[in-house]
Structure formats: C-alpha cells, structure tokens
Structure 1
Amino acid sequence: MEPHAQTEIARRDPATVMRLSRLGSLHQCRLSFMRQLTRRMADENWSFSRPAFEIDDKGVGHAVYTAQGPDRAYSLVAFAHDLPADQRSDRVIAEAWDATFALFDGIPTPEDIDRLSQNVPLQEAGRVSETELSLSRANRSVRLWTHVVDRLAAGQQPDLEQIYQVGYLMRTTAVYGSGKFGAADREKTADRDEVSGPFQIEMLSVYLTRVFVRDLVQYMAQVKGGDQTSALDPEIARWLGIGNSTGLGMAPFIVNHPVLFNNWIMAREEAISRVRSVETAAEKDARVFRDVFARSKQSIAWWHSEHPIQVEKLAALKDDLNSIGAFLATDDLTQDHPWDRIIRWSETALSEEGQELLASLILEPYGDVVDGLSSCMADTNAAAQVIDGTVPVSGVRALIRNSFDWALDLDWNDPENCTRAWYVSEEKLEPRLGERFEEPIADYEQPLAPARDAALAFKALQEWPDDAPIAEFLLRHPEHRHTVRRAQISRVAPYGEIHDNTIGANVMPIDMLRAKLSFFGATHFDPRSDRWVRICMYAGAPYPDELNTANADLWVYPEVAQ
C-alpha cells in the first residue's frame, strides 16, 4: 500500500477530546462497531437463513435466523408476543415486551428452542446458559407499526416521510451480553476473529433482529390484507432500522472500563491524525468526502429531537453544514494538508457537534489507512489492572496530575461540585444518579467520581516522601487503591479518563451515553431527558439477502436524489 502521509500530525490532546460536551457530540465513523460487522460479513461472504418462522395470526410464536460465517454459525431465536398496550414500556423495569430474543451459539435444536421459550420471554426472571451469547427485548413503535401494517394490507406502500421521521418499527430496551443472566462470558468468544472486536455479538443480534422485525410486519400485514397485501418495497425497508432506548445503566460503563474506552477513543484519534497527515489528496478521495458530506446533510435533515439541549445543538449543526459548504466551495481539498486545514478551520468556525461530524467524515475516503485500527479496539491488556507497588509516590502523583490537573484545585466541599451521587438500585440492580443532599444515598455511593477521588488521593499523597513505594502508602490507605490503579492505567490509556466532574450539579449523563453509542454506530440521538436517549441502529443498512462488498460500508449515509 502506498503511504498517504509523509509528515505526522499529532493526535488531539486528551484534555480537549475527553471533555463531556465533546464526548456528547461524537458521531459514528468508519470504526463504528456496526460498520465493522457489515464489512466483515460481506468480505467473508457470510450466508443467512431462516430455518423457522412459526408465528400465528395474532403475531405470537417464534422464529430462528442463522448467520453462517467461515468457521461458525450464530442464530437469533426470536419470540413474538401479543402485548396489551398498557404493558408496553421503555423502562428497564418492564416485565413484558412485544418481542424477546437470544443469540444462540450455533444452530439450536428443538429442545434448545423449547428451553429458551420458557426463559427468554421472562428476560431477568428467566435464566439462559452459556450456549446463549446475548439476551434482548424490543417493543413496537406503535404508531409507525400500525401505519405500515395498514398500508401494506391495503395494497399500498407506507408513507416515506413517516419512515424517515421515526426510523424504526421496534426499539430494543436492552441488549444484554457478557454473562448477564447466565449467558456466556466474553471470554468464551474473545478469541474468535469474527466477534473479537467490542460488542460484535450485540451488533449481530441487533442486525438479525432487524430482519425479524421486517418479516414480522410483512406477515402481520398479510394476515390482515390477504391477497391484496403489498410486499414492502426494499428501498423503503432499508430505512427501517432498530430503535433503542438507553438509560443510565450504560453511563458508568465508560468510567468502569478506562482501558477499553481509551482504545476506542485512541483508535478514532489515531485515524483522524493519520488522515490529517495526508499532504496531498487524490481527486477521487476529495470526491468521496464531498459525496458523504452531501449525504450526511440528508441524514441530519431527518434528525429530530424535542429535548432543548439537542434542539439547540441541531440548530448549530445545521448552521455548521452551511459553513462547511461555503468552505468546500472555495477549496479543492487536494493540496497542502487539506484534511488538517479543514479540521483546524473547524476548531474556531464550528460547534463541537459540527467539529466532530467533520472529524468523522474526513475518514471516509481512507479505509485502507483507517479500517485496520479496528483490531486495536478490544481490551486485551489484563495486566493493566495490576497495581505496581514499586512505583514511587512521586510517580503516582505525576500520573494523577497528568489526568486530573483540572480537578485538584476544585473545592470538593462545595455542594455544587458534589451534588450528585451514583448508586445501584436495590430493585433492578441498575445504576442510578441521585441528589446527594436530598436523598439518603451517600452511604451507597459507587466509585464513579474518579476526579474527586483523584483529588483526595493526591492530597493524601502530599504527606508522603517522594521515594516511598506506593505499596507502603496503600497499606495505610487502601481506600485509594482504585485511584492508584487508574493512575497507573493512564500510562497505557491516555484517553481513559473523562476530563469533567461526573458528580457535579451540571453533569449531563446523556453525554456519556452518546459517547458510547456513537461507537456502536448509532445515529439520530434523541435525548428524552438528561438521563436517557433514543437512537436508531442499522437504518440504511442492507439486509442479509442484499449484503455485498459494494454496499457493506457507506450505507449509513442516505443516497441523495440527483
């Protein structure tokens, strides 16, 4: 491969990248987990089948969808239910759903399906085994579901505008993996090439769920309309993704997994650095960028939210699109480090939402430079969790200052800086964020305030001699072990720490949710409060029967009518 770059533009500083407002403005990119999966399935020529679809006229029953890769098969076992309207809820504490799913490791036998039928519909109240890799559930978007069924049953196609505005017929309220409720631990599949990357099991489950939802809505229309029923136009079906409602349960993940989150951010920052380092760009690469920019404008036109913060960000983003368009009108993007120039221009000309959209878009022409970084995004460094007790106190102080210099001078006794407290609910064992001075939760606080804890540890370390081994300090102060561990982890994970206060009065948990979901490849973030968000997954993606190497990647950007 001919190198694209001769000089290297450094990766952006973690102090810039790891602010919550910026993390809450990230967009999907070539390294997003959904796109990694569709590229792989197309490159490896996976085959797909539907060995069972046993659904009755009330929409109750089960179906099986099998994905066969080069070495192994994975099967989604889906159960459809007749859910009364008063039981339909996006809350994680719901007890019934329109559909429930398990991703089975291999091809299930009738006995497996019978066992799953007694457990999967119960979700938390049931139990699965290590032959199941994920457990999930979904509810209908009732208005759009009814519209699509009625239109198809009447021999018509659904209204495209409604498809674009909602984007999905069902939304998941949880996709559990990695050992929850008896499912297989991550270690069982971590050494399998096809699912070794982060969340590939969950992304495969959602990809197959989307096929089931398409087939089920077509079947229910057929039940209602009989012979006059229309087949759903594949072009319309392609813009039906899978929705997702995500709440606070996801937010602590990026705090609790600093090495993993670092690997995601660092891979993206390295990709941005490599592309910015391109000295001269080929005209074909400039054309690819202009094309995906035009297509992204269409996607953003479909992006709606009623949350005041996102409404404001979307308004700024639409202004940013106009500014980018004006920049492109006067620049051919081929000479004099074009991608570095446009990124440097964006830093003062655009909002953070626009800056991060642009940072994702410049990667699109350079799959040969960027895509290999996906192999670096899993966490395989178990040794990073082991505290090295021989490091001197001075070394740990320096590491803490490097990651948390902004936090060391904050007044942590000021209620504004410690208004919130993270805890785990007794009922659902799910993370919650409460008001420290209004609720009796302080005694149950989870260690999800690394900045405050770093400041406390740093203060305690000030009283120790520089050359004392940190092990001696920890023998006296074991309460600071997690901070010392995180400080040492920062040596291999410079992007592992959020550079903001996660318990302050102004913290926006949705910023943490969006950061994680952007790496999934989610689009159309629609916060419903500061604590939960709806998104869309796989909208625009080819279904298994149409997946090929030509359409496996840029599907996230809608084609613009000429």
Structure 2
Amino acid sequence: MTTPAAINAALKGDNALPLRPINQVMNLERLGAMHQSRLSFMRTLVRRIMRERWQIEPARFELDAQGYGTVIYEIKAPHGLFSFVLFSSYLASEDRNDRVIATQWDLTMALVDGQVDEIYLEKLRQNVPKQEAGRVDSRVFVLSRANRSARNFDYVVNQLAKGEQPDVAKIAQVGYLYRTTAVYGSGKLGMADWEKVSTRYPDFARPFAAEMFVCLMLRNFSLLQVEHIAKHKSPDSFLPMQPKVKRFFGIGNSTGLGMAPYLINHPILINQWVEMRELALARIRVLGGIDQHICEQFKELMGRCYVHTAETVTEDEWQTGNNQQVLLDMDALKARVAVPFNSWDELLRWSEEHCSLQGQEMIISMMLELYPELVDDLEDYHTAEEFLDLDPLMPVQQLKEIIEQRYNWALAIDFNADGARETFWYRSEEKMEPRLGGTELEEGRKKQMALGVGYAVRKCYDQLCEYIAAYPEHTTARFMVARPKLRGIVRRIQTMNKCVYGDIQANLLDRNVLPMHLLRAKLAFFGVGKFDPRSRLWVRNTMFQGAPLLEDIGKPFNDDWFMPLAPTLDEPSLNASKSEAPAQ
C-alpha cells in the first residue's frame, strides 16, 4: 500500500508539503473546534456505498400497525453479504432513558455477518434487546440501541397521516426521529474484534465504518417506520414524505465522557486521522488552483455554513457564543473574499489573525470541500497499526532530547500550581461510565485512568535527568531496569516521536480541563453536526443529516451534503397519491 509519505513525495519531489506545526494542530482547544469534512467517516462511508452501489433491501419486514416487531435488511456489498437486524418494542415514555445504565429502549439492533435464519434470529432476539446484559457471538460486528425523539416522532407520524409534510422549521430544531445512546463494536459483549473485522471484511475495514453504517441504517429505518405507522393510522389521507424532507432528517446521538479516553488511549490512530486531514490541507495550499468557478463555489459554501450554523439550536451559553462567533467570522470572511486573493495560504494567514478557532477550522473544512480530487483518496489511509514499541538500545541522552523537543509543551506546565492536578479520570462501577473526580475523592485516585500523559512525561523526565546525572552513557534498557514503572510512558514517548503529530497537547488533570473539546474532536472525525452540549461533560448532536437515502443508491451522486440546510417544500401535487408510499 502506498504510504502518505510516498503520496507527499510524489507531489513535491524531495520537498515535503507545508504541514501545519504540531503545537498548532494538536492544541486541545483547536482540536475541539473542528468541523465535519470530506474526510469524516460518515462522508467516506456514504461515498463508498454510492460508488460501489451496495444493494440494501428488507429481507423480513414484520411490523404491526404501531411499528413494533422485527425487520431484517440484507446488505450485498462488494466483498460480502451482511444482515442488519432490528427489534422495535413498546416503551412507555416514563421508561425512556438515554443513560448507559438504561435497560429498555425503543429500538435495539445488530449488524451481522451473512444471512440470518430462524434459529440465529431467535438467538439474537434473546440477547440484542438486553444489550449489555446479553451476549452475542463473533458473527456480530456492532450492537446498538436508540430512543424516539419525544419532540419529533409522533408529530411527524401525525403530519403524514393527515397528508401533510412536517414543518421544516420544526425539523431544523431537532433534526432526527431517533437518537442512539450507544454503538458498541470491537469485541465488546462477544462481538467480532477489530482485528477480525479489519482483516476478513474489507467492506468494513476502515475505522468505525461498521458503527457508522449501523447509524446510517437506523436513520433510514426511522424514515420507513414513521411512514409505515402513519399509513396504517390513516390510510385514506396518508401521503409519504417528500424525499428532500427525508434527507434533512439525520439520526441523533448522545455522547458523554465515555468517548473522551479513546483519543488518549489510541494516539497512533488519532495521529493518523489528523495527519490525513493536514495532508489534504497541505495539498490544497500547494496545488489548489483559484479560478472564478472555485471562488463562486467558496462563496456558496460560506453562505451554506452561515445558515447551517444559524439553524443549529442549543440552550448552552458557551456553544451559543461559539456559534455566534462563527457567524461573525463568516461575515468577516465574506468581506475579505470580496477582494481577490492569490493563494489559500494568504487566506489561512488572514483567518488566523481575524477569526476564532472554530471559524478558522470551518474555513479549512470548506477548502477541503472544493478539491475532491486532492482529498478523497486520503480516506484509504485512516488505519494504523497501534503498537507502542520500546527501543531498549536508545541512549538515555537521546531519550531526554526527544522529550525536550516533542514534549516541550508538557515540560512547560507547572504541575505544582493550584488546580494543575486536581482532576482525575475514573470509571464508575455503579454507572459503568467514565467520570471526572476531584480532590474530595482522594480514595478514588487508586482507580484512576492513565490519561494524564503530560504529567507522566514530566515525572519521567525528572527521573531521567536524575539517572543521566549518575549514568550518562547508559541505554534506555538500563534505565527501564532501574525505573520499571516508567516503561509505559517511555514506550509512548519513543513511538510518538516517529509520528508527524503525536499526542494531544493539554493537561487533562487540570481543574479547568474541558472534556467537551475531546468529545467534539472525535465527533468531528466521525462527521456529526449540530453540536448541542447539555453540560461540560456530554453533548447531543446529529449524524447523517442531509445524506442520501437508500433509494438514492444507483442514482447520480455528487456528494454535496456538507453542512445541510433546511429544504424548501414542494407545492402539493394533484397527482400525489398513497401509491407513492414505499412497498411494505
């Protein structure tokens, strides 16, 4: 496989492309300002499905008039046959709970290898609705569950039953019919682990491809289900939803602290994701020609980003302020590009002086949108082997130099300052969710998660300096014999020194650490939008809003659902009839 370095060299000969510096890119606040882009996993998945024309059809559709029952979709992808199995059950509104500790949900579902016969279906029926309390086998790739939107689901059913379209302005406030509360994969609860999925199933061999696919399937089922219920509720007046309205529905997601440790525990993978995005930006800075057509496209994207941001509804004061600043940034950008500019570098430098971090990163996402020919092939390089290798022969003097060069940000932090080590991360036994603790939970520090990379580097450096003073000619192996508890952080330091970007540069133990930046960074790589923080520790968002529908597969596709906007409804047609509803 061609490496990104080879791609880089092919473009510029012996000269590397102008990647942004590590201390700029890996700043936690900047990572938390990222937006969806062409390289986000939802976009790359949809492109693949549309390009390869996956065949996705219901093989079993057993829903009653209220929408409860069993549905199995069969998916014929280029390299295999898979089944998406979904169980829809009655759930009283008072029992609807989005927390991980919930035991009942409106929908539970699984993505499975191969066809599902009656015996295996019954096995899934006995376990999938239980989620964590059940067990599945390695035929299952992903397990998930979802709850109905209290504000949208019944409203949309009633509108369609009356023969009316749902109010687009209302959808813009809550752009989904269901929201997921967890999407499990990678070996949990007996499922196939990542090594098996990535080596045996090429259709889902990209990071989180199977998980994103389950969310896409849930989104499409939600649209089918509301039409099914509405049609049975009032068959004489029912009319189906207009396709453009359907596409404006996404799937909701509630994400808490459980996602945050991933970015720390998988540094090589996160480095790879960041590097591909930065490489795409560098290609555009060097090779992205600017002509009238590109300028017109860029102006259209500016308007789209402005309206999309304005349509984002949140009660959170902090996020509201961020969104308002992005709107100001887009106004300033509009005035700036009214004057011709000669290069993207020129515009980037301007944005760094005049725009917020979120505004700067929005501009980068727009730039990536303009040049699919320079960006899209990088989607094949989001995987990485995650081994933290120890180099025992490295001289201790060299290890010290690496820390001083690559981890100068950690050495600059005063960990003895007030609040610098006040926060610790742990997993609650009662709630089974990551939590943040403070000094009042001193006893819990014994069970804390090892996420304080900066502090671990500082301790390693201090002990290394003491060791070098006595044994300047020793190797890392000798240092490890003397300080065996430092083996983990030394392996990380040596390995991440080989990466272009490396660790996130932040003190995650600080009293004022904002986990929302970690959540948003990962969600931006996924491709979500409409960030709506519910506290400093969890956020609601929308996935796949504006994406194509299953019925769009095989039709012309231009991959133009970046920052989707509320559609304009078609006028009622005299020829509209119940026959337009999907066959069920």
TM class, shorter-length: over 0.9
From 163, 169, 175, the counterpart of 1:161 = 169
Query: Percentage identity across aligned positions?
Result: 39
Residues 80-132 of structure 1 deviation map (CA, whole Å, 9 limit, x = unaligned): 11111111111111111110110111221122211111100000000111000
> In the alignment, is the contact (CA less than 8 A) between 2:54 and 2:553 conserved in 1?
no
Deviation string, structure 1 residues 428-477 (Cα, Å, up to 9, x no partner): 44322111334531111111100001000000000123431111111221
**Inter-partner Cα distance in structure 2 for 1:552 and 1:517:** 24
1:458-497 equivalences in 2 (<5 Å):
458-465=461-468, 466-497=472-503
- Which of the residues 398, 402, 419 maps onto 2:401? 398
Structure 1: distance between partners of 2:227 and 2:376: 36
Q: Which residue of 1 aligns with 2:543?
A: 537
Pick which of 534-543 and 431-440 moved more.
431-440
Alignment of 1:368-387 (within 5 A): 368-379=373-384, 381-382=385-386, 384-387=387-390
In the alignment, structure 1 residue 105 sits paired with structure 2 residue 113? yes
Give the one of 430, 435, 439 matched to 2:433. Answer: 430
1:348 corresponds, among 346, 353, 357, to 353
Checking the alignment, whether the CA contact within 8 Å between 1:91 and 1:173 is kept in structure 2 is yes
Question: In 2, are the aligned partners of 1:262 and 1:493 still within 8 Å (CA)?
Answer: yes
Counterpart in the other structure of 1:286: 295
What letter is aligned with 2:496?
Answer: S
Partners of 2:148 and 2:422 in 1: how far apart?
A: 37
2:252 pairs with 1:243: yes
What are the within-5 Å matches in structure 2 for residues 31-42 of structure 1?
A: 31-42=39-50
Cα shift at 1:142: 0.9
Partner of 2:304 in structure 1?
295
Give the count of matched residue pairs. 555
What is the correspondence of 1:102-251 to structure 2 with a 5 Å cutoff?
102-191=110-199, 192-251=201-260
Candidates 454, 459, 464, aligned match of 1:456: 459
SS of the residue aligned with 1:464? helix
Match of 1:275 in 2: 284
Return the TM-score normalized by structure 1: 0.95
1: distance between equivalents of 2:11 and 2:328? 32
8 Å CA contact 1:278, 1:339 repeated in 2: no
1:444 and 2:452 correspond: no
| Aligned-partner residue type, residue 482 of structure 1 | G
Alpha-carbon distance in 1 for matches of 2:565, 2:434: 40
Preserved contact between residue 32 and residue 520 of structure 1 (Cα < 8 Å)? yes
1:356 maps to amino acid: E
Q: In the alignment, what sits opposite 1:420?
A: 423
Q: Is the 8 A contact 1:40 1:194 kept in 2?
A: no
Deviation, structure 1 residue 157: 1.0
Alpha-carbon distance in structure 1 between the residues aligned to 2:512 and 2:328:
26
Q: CA deviation at 1:409?
A: 4.1
Decide whether the 8 Å contact of 2:267 with 2:503 is kept in 1. yes
- Report the counterpart of residue 60 of structure 1 in structure 2: 68
Contact in 2 for aligned 1:297/1:321 (Cα 8 Å): yes
Hey, what does 2:266 align to over in structure 1?
257
Structure-2 separation of matches of 1:371 and 1:349: 29
Distance 1:4 1:402 in 2: 28
1:506 aligns with 2:506: no
Distance (Å, rounded) in 2 between the aligned partners of 1:429 and 1:391: 40
> 1:539, 1:556 within 8 Å by CA — same for their partners in 2?
no
SS of the residue aligned with 1:31?
coil
SS in 2 for 1:413: coil
User: Distance between the aligned counterparts of 2:294 and 2:119, measured in 1?
Assistant: 53
1:316 alignment partner in structure 2: 325
For structure 2, the 5+ residue unaligned runs are: 1-6, 569-584
Q: How far apart are 1:550 and its partner, in Å? A: 4.1
- Whole-angstrom CA distance in 2 between matches of 1:479 and 1:415: 26
Measured after TM superposition, the shift of residue 322 of structure 1 is 0.2
**1:471-514: CA deviation from partner (whole Å, max 9, x where unpaired):** 11112212211211110121232322111111101111011000
Instruction: Give the corresponding residue for 2:580.
Output: none
CA contact (8 A) 1:403 1:499 kept: no
Q: Which amino acid aligns with 2:240?
A: A
User: Does the C-alpha gap of structure 1 residues 409 and 437 become closer, same or farther in structure 2, counting only changes over 3 Å?
Assistant: farther
- Displacement of 1:560 after TM fit? 8.5
TM-score, length basis structure 2: 0.91
Counterpart Cα distance in 2 of 1:419 and 1:493: 30
Distance 2:112 2:63 in 1: 19
- Range 32-41 or range 399-408, more displaced: 399-408
SS in 2 for 1:526: strand
1:127-147, Cα deviation, whole Å (9 max, x unpaired): 111000000010111111121
**TM-superposed deviation, 1:220:** 1.6
Match of 1:48 in 2: 56
- Which of 362, 365, 370 aligns to 1:365? It is 370
Give the letter aligned to residue 309 of structure 2: I
- Does the 8 A contact of 2:28 with 2:505 survive in 1? yes
For 2:561, the aligned partner's letter is W
CA–CA distance in 2 between the matches of 1:158 and 1:218? 12
- How far, CA to CA, are the matches of 2:50 and 2:321 in structure 1? 38
Alpha-carbon distance, 1:8 to partner: 6.2
* More moved, 454-463 vs 409-418: 409-418
Structure 1 residue 390: deviation in Å?
1.0
Residue by residue, what CA displacement relative to the aligned partner does 1:321-351 show, whole Å, maximum 9, x if unpaired? Answer: 10111112112x5xx3x21111111001100
Distance 1:518 1:213 in 2: 23
Amino acid at match of 1:511: H
Distance between the aligned counterparts of 2:369 and 2:562, measured in 1? 11
Counterparts of 2:490 and 2:25 in 1: how far apart (Å)?
23
Per-residue Cα deviation, 1:376-403 (whole angstroms, up to 9, x for no partner): 1111x34x42211111112222222233
Q: Equivalents in 2 of 1:552, 1:179: separation in Å?
A: 35
Gap regions ≥5 residues in structure 1? none
Q: Do the aligned residues in 2 keep the contact of 1:8 with 1:273 (CA within 8 Å)?
A: no
Distance, in Å, in 2 between the alignment partners of 1:17 and 1:105 is 39
